Chains A and B, each alone.
Chain A
């Protein structure tokens, strides 16, 4: 006899999604389906027909959790469409922004999974550690990109401004100070994940990994010819779920893939482990790589060099691609500019790649481990409005729904 377990929305992740698991008599998942239930918001349509400079400002609002990768992918797509070669300092500052953001974002994920792995006596220490790391990382994003959340100074052609020598030295010192703290944090997280004793093989799947670069992103490693996109109707073998699912299914070489820190580690560092534990380990270790890269950039950066190229916004309608390795995986934005206006815009965001892989990854284990598998991907679906109606008398929840506009 099979039973259906539905978790909706899945918790301690960014945004709203649903996990539907069919389980056997033992409670073992025989079929897992994960899908986004966040309504389409149409940001790509909003930027079409407008000046190219509008796109990075609007599409970064896709998300408040990883606005940096969206901004970077957007400007990279525009740079590509407009044929702009950005100056070296601009490239370094963009990399620095992303490296700092990676550290911040992974730290947030550690906060989200703390309830899964951190024992009560270490909780305060773990959360303080997350906060301290985020403070330094966001300080860097603020300084380099203008704002920690929706950066104003990542621009088409490079960055609005280079940073001053004072800022460079200050950031260098802060990151150097952060290093022992971060190393300790990474050891703590890896240790706690190991201590949890999750069943061996949890979250292991047979799908390939996709990554374009070990940290930043490389549009030449994303081959558009190998990419296809299908509608949920032809992916989910359940009519009701297919109808409810809000995101398309992206495939690479005709199959669904895994993106994110483990994918990057496996493609670029020969990281062999797979599954939930491997994902947490790869994510934690990536914080160290990002910090080393940030320190190296600050060492190398010439603060007197120009950070932005001059460019002409007319455009030739070339399909520009921006491929950025966001904290949760490959973020691809595509843009075409002609007559000084954006003609076409499309964003293929990290978690969309993972969605078709995450459901099946829950299979073969007890459904109680389902949320562990989902959270190991640090999924980020765009946020929706959630409404709770609470009874004033006894605080009971009368209504709990996601608003669909």
Chain B
């Protein structure tokens, strides 16, 4: 299945005005983790918080909804959230943990839960894993290249970054700038080229903008727990939802992009195998 196993797919957005203001699209990750925290389904979450360098995120353990909201918005470079999971259940004392991860991290977390070497007593404490769609991820230096070299903007002025409609977008106070996505090719992490997962197939819930209108996100619920938490949040009014059949561009686009990633990267994998090079799976 091109979208992995799932229970339900809907288009949704957070009803919280504060979250809508800071979120990337529908505010699903922020809204769902904040809801789970307030309902005591989780006691804290490892999220991509602000780092020392502008736009270079650092993993942080958020233990209040405010801290989660402060970490809202997509960062297009890696936040090593997985390394903070252990600290979250150790020094932070969290026994019910949530986190957000891109597909490769999601795979890492699931593998870690199955083979917990060096991470004893962590597996059963992860209660909510929110996966985000990801075509590729850029090293911090690549982002700097796009912004300061290709667009000629001081990264400190950037308020939001986005990928959509075939372009990489940067929003400043005064301008909206973009470069064609084609120009970003070759700047992604090399591991992205052998990754077959676009829609975080191992998350409890996966989400991303693709398939839904602006300001909304496409939510895929996958596990019993993930589905139940999302439904509770919808019933509590934290999210409003629309049937995927009634939104544009719709599920077809999500399926198309997922299939594209799988096809393209399978070719890279086959090529590497042919050359006798290792592939991660």
Q: Which residues of A are interface residues toward B (Cβ below 8 A)? A: 142-144, 146-148, 153, 160-164, 166-171
User: In whole angstroms, what is the CA distance A171 to B95 when docked?
Assistant: 12
- B120 interface neighbour in A142, A162, A164, A171, Cβ under 8 Å: A142
B90 with A171: CB separation less than 8 A:
no
Contacts A162-B91, A164-B61, A164-B93 known; list 5 others, CB within 8 Å: A142-B90, A161-B91, A167-B92, A167-B93, A168-B93
Give the residues in chain B near A162, CB-CB below 8 Å: 91
Q: Mark B80-122, 1 if CB is under 8 A from A, else 0.
A: 0000001100111111000000000000000000000000110
Least distance between B206 CB and chain A CB atoms (Å): 28
Least distance between B23 CB and chain A CB atoms (Å): 26
Least distance between A214 CB and chain B CB atoms (Å): 27
Give the residues in chain A near B86, CB-CB below 8 Å: 146
26 residue pairs A–B, Cβ–Cβ below 8 Å:
A143-B90, A143-B91, A143-B93, A144-B91, A146-B90, A146-B91, A147-B120, A148-B120, A153-B90, A153-B91, A162-B91, A163-B91, A163-B92, A163-B93, A164-B61, A164-B63, A164-B92, A166-B92, A166-B93, A167-B90, A167-B91, A167-B93, A168-B93, A170-B93, A170-B95, A171-B93
- Give chain B interface residues in 46-102, CB to chain A under 8 Å: 61, 63, 86-87, 90-95
Give the residues in chain A near B93, CB-CB below 8 Å: 143, 163-164, 166-171
Given A146-B86, A161-B87, answer yes or no on A166-B120 (Cβ-Cβ < 8 Å).
Answer: no
Least distance between A138 CB and chain B CB atoms (Å): 9
User: In whole angstroms, what is the CA distance A25 to B44 when docked?
Assistant: 70
Closest-by-CB residue of A relative to B118 is A147
Give the residues in chain A near B43, CB-CB below 8 Å: 166
Give the residues in chain B near A163, CB-CB below 8 Å: 91-93
Least distance between B190 CB and chain A CB atoms (Å): 29
Least distance between A4 CB and chain B CB atoms (Å): 46
Least distance between A64 CB and chain B CB atoms (Å): 14
State the main secondary structure of chain B at its contact with A: loop
Given A146-B86, A161-B87, answer yes or no on A166-B94 (Cβ-Cβ < 8 Å).
Answer: yes
Least distance between A194 CB and chain B CB atoms (Å): 37
Residue in B86, B91, B94 with the greatest tally of chain A CB atoms within 10 Å: B91
User: In whole angstroms, what is the CA distance A161 to B44 when docked?
Assistant: 17
Give the residues in chain B near A148, CB-CB below 8 Å: 120
Give the residues in chain B near A168, CB-CB below 8 Å: 93
User: In whole angstroms, what is the CA distance A142 to B116 when docked?
Assistant: 15
User: In whole angstroms, what is the CA distance A164 to B43 when docked?
Assistant: 12
User: In whole angstroms, what is the CA distance A379 to B223 when docked?
Assistant: 50
User: In whole angstroms, what is the CA distance A166 to B97 when docked?
Assistant: 13
Closest-by-CB residue of A relative to B92 is A164
Closest-by-CB residue of A relative to B94 is A166
Least distance between A384 CB and chain B CB atoms (Å): 24
Least distance between A43 CB and chain B CB atoms (Å): 21
User: In whole angstroms, what is the CA distance A153 to B90 when docked?
Assistant: 10
Least distance between B116 CB and chain A CB atoms (Å): 12
Least distance between B122 CB and chain A CB atoms (Å): 10
Give the residues in chain B near A167, CB-CB below 8 Å: 90-93
Least distance between B123 CB and chain A CB atoms (Å): 14
Least distance between B97 CB and chain A CB atoms (Å): 12
User: In whole angstroms, what is the CA distance A167 to B44 when docked?
Assistant: 12
B90 with A166: CB separation less than 8 A:
no
User: In whole angstroms, what is the CA distance A168 to B92 when docked?
Assistant: 9
Least distance between B58 CB and chain A CB atoms (Å): 14
B63 with A166: CB separation less than 8 A:
yes
Give the residues in chain B near A164, CB-CB below 8 Å: 61, 63, 91-93
User: In whole angstroms, what is the CA distance A102 to B61 when docked?
Assistant: 30
Closest 6 pairs between A and B when the two form their complex, measured CB to CB: A167-B93, A164-B92, A166-B93, A161-B91, A163-B91, A170-B93
Closest-by-CB residue of A relative to B87 is A161
User: In whole angstroms, what is the CA distance A146 to B92 when docked?
Assistant: 11
Least distance between B260 CB and chain A CB atoms (Å): 42
User: In whole angstroms, what is the CA distance A160 to B92 when docked?
Assistant: 12
Give the residues in chain B near A171, CB-CB below 8 Å: 93
Give the residues in chain A near B87, CB-CB below 8 Å: 161
User: In whole angstroms, what is the CA distance A142 to B88 when docked?
Assistant: 12
User: In whole angstroms, what is the CA distance A169 to B63 when docked?
Assistant: 15
User: In whole angstroms, what is the CA distance A332 to B25 when docked?
Assistant: 59
User: In whole angstroms, what is the CA distance A214 to B121 when docked?
Assistant: 32
Residue in A143, A164, A170 with the greatest tally of chain B CB atoms within 10 Å: A164
User: In whole angstroms, what is the CA distance A168 to B43 when docked?
Assistant: 14
User: In whole angstroms, what is the CA distance A164 to B90 when docked?
Assistant: 9
User: In whole angstroms, what is the CA distance A306 to B93 when docked?
Assistant: 17
Least distance between B72 CB and chain A CB atoms (Å): 22
Closest-by-CB residue of B relative to A149 is B120
Give the residues in chain B near A153, CB-CB below 8 Å: 90-91
Give the residues in chain A near B94, CB-CB below 8 Å: 166
Residue in A142, A144, A171 with the greatest tally of chain B CB atoms within 10 Å: A142
- Give chain B interface residues in 180-216, CB to chain A under 8 Å: none
User: In whole angstroms, what is the CA distance A243 to B91 when docked?
Assistant: 48
Least distance between A174 CB and chain B CB atoms (Å): 10
Least distance between A88 CB and chain B CB atoms (Å): 17
Least distance between A131 CB and chain B CB atoms (Å): 15
User: In whole angstroms, what is the CA distance A26 to B127 when docked?
Assistant: 66
